[in-house]
A and B are shown apart, each in its own frame.
Chain A
Amino acid sequence: MKGATTHRYGMVIDLDKCTGCGACMIACMAENNVPFRDDESDKLLSLTWMRIFRLNNGKPFPEADVCYLPRPCMHCEGDHGHSPCVSVCPATATDYSRETGIVSQIYTRCFGCRYCMGACPYKARLFNWWDPVWPDGMEKFLNPDVSPRVRGVVEKCSFCYNRYQLAKNKAFLEGRRELEENEYQTSCTQACPAGAIVFGDLNNPHHQVHQLVDPDMAHGGRPRNPNAFRILERLGTNPKVYYLSSREWVRRSGDNTIEGEGKLKSH
């Protein structure tokens, strides 16, 4: 990897604990002023920074099993020093931060070419096909820390960057340069009623995220915990969102495997 990243904020989601309730999705929408329309059942057109996928083991009754997988932006840090979306953006509307490891999205720079959406292997990027409209009175609950987007721009999960900024400001006023683990938490992490989401600095061995997955930084942060996995590991995008599951079929659904394939390999 090129250049050192001071902090590497990342997330660990315990799929054994995740109940698929959707509280993270809603906490995200509320924090980030995500709009809604009359009919959002066509998920290709529905804006949800955090989306929960329902995995199944493909077995017939009664061996069937399902597992939910919440998917925020993976905040990739590719082997070659760039995330798939960052490298294709012609407007520099999305960038990889060497300070936090967060992939940003600057709405006012985005002109809606959607190359990034094509490049993102996780479908974590969403396009505003319509102007957002809040029913009369509902604009009252909009959060001033996050600007509402307009038609024609791409948006995605920012790891609640506004919360990072607030925490940094507060720390600065108190004469500190570094944040405590609990000072900067994303909205979904805070809301999760099952306590399934953990957020923190993967570079910091004292942080829970580091301890849970034991990332191998020499190999793009690949998890050493055998129950931990990342989605599409072999693409080499090195996501900073890790998943934990005690069920093998769930871990295997994290990547495209062919039948009988053994341990997952990096490319």
Chain B
Amino acid sequence: MNIGRRSFLSFLIGGAAGTALSPLPWKLTDDISIWSQNWPWTPVPATGEVTYANTTCTLCPGGCGISVRKIDERCVKIEGTPGHPVNDGGVCPLGSSGLQVLYGPARIKTPLKRVGERGQGRWMAISWEDALAQTADKLTELREGGQPQSVACLSGRTYGTMPSLLQRFMAAYGSPNFMTVPSMRDSYALTFAAMNGQTAMAGFDTENTDFVLSFGSGIIDGWGSPVRMFRANSAWQGGRGKVVQAEPRLSNTAAKSDIWAPIRPGTDAALALGMAHVIILEKRYRSDFVSNYTTGFDAFKTMVMAGYSPEKVAQITGVEKNTIVSLARSFARASRPLAICGRGRGEVPGSMNEFMAVHALNALVGVINRPGGVWALPEPGYIQWSGPDLDAVAIAGGRRQRLDGAGSSNPAASLPNRFFTTVAAGEDYPIEAMFISGANPDFDFLNNQRVAEAMAKIPFVVSFSSLMDDTARNADLILPDHVYLERYEDVPAPMGFQRPIIGLCRPAVTPQFNTMHTGDVIIQLAQTLGGTLADAFPWDNYEVCLQDTLGDQWDTLVEEGYAMDEGFSPAPWADMFGSRKFDFTAAGIRNGFVPVPIAGDDITYPLVLMPYDSMRVASGAIGNTPFMTKTVDENVLLHGMAFVQINPVTAGSLGLRQGDKAELTTPAGKAEVRTDLFEGIMPGVIAMPRGMGRTPYDKKLMKHGVSTNPLVSSVEDPISGLEAAWGVRAKLSKA
């Protein structure tokens, strides 16, 4: 057979057409795509038995019940526990990405001893025996040298057995310098102490409120227990109530509110007093409450009548006169109104003047301890340990003045803010050792340069952090705690929750690394130190201590995951204000509106910088997880650079356009930023999210953006001594 050109081509074309009509190409395409996806480096997650472990989240003070889905011994997902009184199945972004904390590369895997310079990141892994022995040696040396007061301790948690154990250790050891990290919880407690005349925590019956007047509180930006507040907000959106948000910036809360009243920053107390003026003038206050259970009303009335007419308040706050009047009327007219404060998430304690002015509004409309109102809750009282017995050294040390000045002349429980300033200045006696648990002061405190200065003067810094955060990075010794999914702990008093409740945090998995519960560390240290210290910690380990402490409630906690006083109702007025009446003339409010003097003059720094809180950016000791950073919008963070929100009018006057690079300067520091033109922010005000710009200890975790903390100068509240700075003056210039 002769193969000519023609027959050859026919064969080729015919063959191609035939193949194309056959299933072969399609089958091959399919096979190739499957084959090309079988890479050995693509993980194939193992299957196994599915179980759920119910526990309590401790990543923020919200106290949500979480349910961890497990495949054999792996945790694969965190979901909210349905039916839990705090969050009923919902979960926040941080909570649902908690496994990235558990399994994340930021975990500290073993006790570490610093070998290089501080902050250099050079560590030596040591055994727990060595780590505990070195800590005990240092403590013994200081105690034998007669300076037990030179040991300080900072706890991120306020309530529960963990802070109590730390506090007990410090007392038995002989140091007065035990501190917790303050928040709006402290400001509320001090407001209650001054006005209600009692020690109590603030609870908000938001489920039953029908009119919320919020002075900058981020109801859906993380205030209180976030998921609980989201649920309350959804109920209000569904027609159960109205929300009024007074804030200079259109936060998510403001955008979802029924009325947004843009107010000049820092003038919230004046607005509250202006509304009090209208309410009193029009006699819309709850006269039965005011006349029977309050004192100082006449003085308060005289003060607001003289100085806070709607016209004057409009001048101070920038809120229109008619708006003030109508807001006051609708607030007083509502059947269950509630006024709240604590800016954003409420992490900065804030100005007592503001808290008291807002609390006075609640008193005027008679919603203290009433349905839908603000409730005085007893502090958790289940920790009933006897003693501790103190030896002579402990008594002598404990009598020394606290370095933060809290407790004696000052009503606040602790003032770590002032502590770091005092230590940095080298005033009074030196601090030789510092223990830090559940807090990240090197990052979290405003003006954190001071913290760094103070830390530089403390020769022995011990961190209990599970993660290599900014503070652990600068420590001398790290005794890593288990993360919350690996440990037991009681979680009482979720922020703002209106009933006494204890959640149980319990292990969902066995510890992944060579870590130890800080409770066990404390117990072992005390037993090593011996004497009265060992007597004060009679428990074999933390778990025994926890079970002993919780007594009858332990079984309920194990079974339900939480123990709540279902039938709790707040004390009636007659009991609460019978002997000690509500005081309208407490020191913080007696003289009317007192602005917080933020740093900077308005000539050099024509703008005002306000940090804001976002649910997508975690602040506090735990930073952003990779999932959270992934949710951050491109006009908040782009290629590692943070944006400042600025009104287009202000931006125009500075020659700045969307996305321009700019230099942000404040009296405290400088930062490179980009500009985001936002119509929802008051001209002259700029805003940045709090919580970004952590030290990059891990590429995938929070290296991004700029921290607002070093930019904002700290301002002490004149009444409480707590941090009160809500912002700082700033300058923005095109880079």
- Do A and B pair up? The answer is yes
Cβ B220 vs Cβ A21 within 8 A: yes
- Beta-carbon contact of A23 and B76 below 8 Å: no
Please, how many angstroms separate the alpha-carbon atoms of A139 and B99 in the complex? 11
Q: Does B47 contact A (CB under 8 A)?
A: yes
A-contacting residues, B607-639, CB 8 Å: 615-616, 626-634, 637-639
Stretch from B196-204, B427-435, B587-595, B679-687 contacting the other chain: B679-687
Q: How far is the CA of A181 from the CA of B204 in the complex (A)?
A: 34
Q: Are B260 and A22 in contact (CB under 8 A)?
A: no
Contact A30 B96 (CB under 8 A): yes
Residues of chain A lying within 8 A (CB to CB) of residue B97: 26, 29-30
Residues in A neighbouring B29, C-beta threshold 8 A: 91, 111
**Using an 8 Å CB-CB cutoff, how does the interface string of B283-325 with A read, 1 for contact, 0 for none?**
0000000000000000000000000000000000000000000
Q: Which residues of A contact B41 (CB under 8 A)?
A: 131
Q: Which residues of B contact A60 (CB under 8 A)?
A: 648-649, 679
- B630 contacts A137, CB within 8 Å? no
Cα-based distance from A150 to B103 in the complex (angstroms):
22
Chain B residue nearest to A190 in the complex (CB):
B79
- Once bound together, how far apart are the Cα atoms of A38 and B702, in whole Å? 9
Distance (whole angstroms) from the CB of A27 to the closest CB of chain B: 5
Q: Give the CA-CA distance A36 to B625 in the complex, in Å.
A: 11
Contact between B250 and A26, CB atoms less than 8 A apart: no
Give the shortest distance, in Å, between B139 (CB) and chain A (any CB).
34
Q: How many residues of B contact A (CB 8 A)?
A: 85
- From residue 47 to 89 of chain A, which have CB atoms closer than 8 A to chain B? 48, 52, 54, 56, 58-62, 64-68
A25 interfacial contact with B, CB 8 Å: yes
Asked if B639 and A39 sit within 8 Å, CB to CB, the answer is yes
Please report the C-alpha to C-alpha distance between residue A46 and residue B627 in the assembled complex, in whole angstroms.
Answer: 11
Contact for A38 among B79, B238, B262, B699, CB less than 8 A: B699
Check A191–B631 contact: CB distance below 8 A: no
Q: Would B227 and A29 count as touching, CB distance under 8 A?
A: no
In the complex, A179 has a CB within 8 A of chain B: no
Say yes or no for A157: interface residue by CB 8 A criterion: no
**Which B residue's beta carbon lies closest to that of A40?**
B630
Partner of A56, one of B42, B615, B679: B679
Complex Cα spacing A227 to B633, Å: 27
Residues 200-239 of chain B, each 1 if its beta carbon lies under 8 Å from chain A, else 0: 0000000000000000000011000011001101100110
Given contacts A137-B105, A190-B79, contact A144 B37 (CB under 8 A): no
Bound complex: CA of A19 vs CA of B105, how far in Å?
Answer: 30
B46-A41 in contact (CB<8A): no
Q: How far is the CA of A31 from the CA of B45 in the complex (A)?
A: 12
Q: Mark A121-159, 1 if CB is under 8 A from B, else 0.
A: 000000000011011111111111001101011000000
Task: Determine chain A's interface SS by DSSP, over half rule.
Answer: loop
Verify A19–B252 contact, CB threshold 8 A: yes
Closest CB in chain A relative to B68 CB, distance in Å: 10
Are B45 and A62 interface neighbours, CB within 8 A?
Answer: no
A22→B30 CA distance, assembly (Å): 36
B256 within 8 A of A: yes
Question: Of B233, B616, B627, B637, which contacts A30 at CB under 8 A?
Answer: B627
- Is there contact, CB below 8 Å, between B627 and A41? no
Q: Which residues of B contact A195 (CB under 8 A)?
A: 90, 230-231, 234
> What separation, in Å, do the CA atoms of A19 and B234 have in the docked complex?
9
The residues of B that contact A54 with a CB separation of less than 8 Å are 633
In-complex Cβ contact of B90 among A29, A132, A193 (8 A): A193
User: Hey, what's the 0/1 contact readout for B510-541 against A, CB within 8 Å counting as 1?
Assistant: 00100000000000000000000000000000
- List the interface of chain A (C-beta within 8 A of B): 14, 16-17, 19-23, 25-27, 29-31, 33, 36, 38-43, 46, 48, 52, 54, 56, 58-62, 64-68, 91, 107-111, 131-132, 134-144, 147-148, 150, 152-153, 187, 190-196
Closest 8 CB pairs of A and B: A193-B90, A64-B679, A22-B631, A21-B615, A142-B45, A19-B220, A193-B227, A144-B45
20 more contacts with CB within 8 A, not counting A21-B252, A138-B104, are A19-B230, A19-B256, A25-B627, A27-B96, A30-B76, A38-B699, A41-B634, A46-B630, A48-B631, A59-B679, A62-B262, A64-B250, A65-B680, A131-B39, A138-B100, A141-B74, A142-B76, A191-B79, A193-B230, A196-B234
